[in-house]
Homo-oligomer: A and B are copies of this chain.
Amino acid sequence: MNSSILTIGHLARQTGTKVETIRFYEKNGLLPEPSRTEGNYRAYEPDHLNRLSFIRRARDLGFSLDQIRALLALSDNRGQSCAAVDAIASKHRAEVEKKISDLMALKTELDRMIDQCGCGVVADCRIIETLSPK
Contact = CB atoms under 8 A, between A and B. Distances in A.
Interface of A: 49-50, 53-54, 57-58, 61-62, 71, 74-75, 77-83, 85-86, 89-90, 92-93, 96-97, 99-100, 103-104, 106-107, 109-111, 113-114, 117-125, 127-128, 130-133
Q: Is the interface of A mostly helix, strand, loop or mixed?
A: helix
Total identical chains: 2
Given A100-B104, A103-B103, A114-B90, A50 B82 contact: no
Contacts of A61: 106, 109-110, 113, 131
Contacts of A124: 82
B107 A96 contact: yes
